[in-house]
Structure 1
Amino acid sequence: MQHEFWATTILDFLIALGVVLGGVILGGLGAFITDEYPMHRMLHLADKLKIWAMVAAIGGTFDTIKAFEVNILGGQLDLAFQQLIFIMSAFIGAHTGTVLVRWMIQGVI
């Protein structure tokens, strides 16, 4: 059980990070192809993709919120706390991706 918790936490972090970084890189390539300024588009995409990265990492917001509700109402606060940690892990992954994008292109703009 402990191994599964940490595996899910790490996967949520890395999936959210990957969604932001992958989306920004491919969006920047698309901006280059369409003759837009890629760095501005990449900054814009990093902010826009953050929430979608979290949703992708936790597998859809409705299931997570439903599990959170059932665990709290059922008195299983440890499982509700685990759901909060999964959400936080996804947020930290998405935010890390955004920070990395800003750091990589800080001298270009």
Structure 2
Amino acid sequence: MTRELLSSLVDVFFVAFGVIIGGALIGSIGAFLTGKPPLTEIYNLSQSLKIWAIVAAIGGSFDAITSIERGLFSGIHDDILRTLMMLFTALIGAQSGTILLQWLVGGEQ
């Protein structure tokens, strides 16, 4: 694994993690202002923002699909492996942020 790939994977992890944490916390401010329970909203938002965190972390879904297509049809297998590693790392980052927030707000709401 090259240094550039490792650096990219760390960035992807923390972007996905940050989208979950930031989105849920800022969203809870909106919930507070509208009279909804903020902790329940943090729990709900952390669940519903996962897919958007993954998309944001990999830089848009079309680039990932294009990389997989190029790997399958042009024989460039490094692109497939790199894209799958980025998707998996983004998924881990989003899930880590979700678990952290749900742990902080006290589990199921």
| Shared fold, TM over 0.5 | yes
Please tell me whether the aligned partners of residues 43 and 108 of structure 2 are also in contact (alpha carbons under 8 angstroms): no
- Note the residue ranges of structure 1 that are not aligned, 5 or more in a row: none
The reply on whether 1:80 has 2:56 as its aligned counterpart is no
Instruction: Give how far 1:108 is off.
Output: 9.4
- Give % identity: 39
Cα 1:43–1:14 change in 2 (3 A) is same
* Structure 1 position 79, deviation (Å): 2.4
In the alignment, what sits opposite 2:89? 89
CA–CA distance in 2 between the matches of 1:10 and 1:41? Answer: 28
2:5, 2:105 → 1: CA distance? 35
Which residue of structure 1 aligns with residue 26 of structure 2? 26
TM-score with structure 1 setting the length: 0.93
Q: Which runs of 4+ in 1 moved over 6 A?
A: none
Matches within 5 A, 1:3-82: 3-82=3-82
| Gap regions ≥5 residues in structure 2 | none
Aligned length: 109
CA distance in structure 1 between the aligned counterparts of 2:73 and 2:79, rounded to whole angstroms: 11
Q: Secondary structure of 2:106's partner?
A: coil
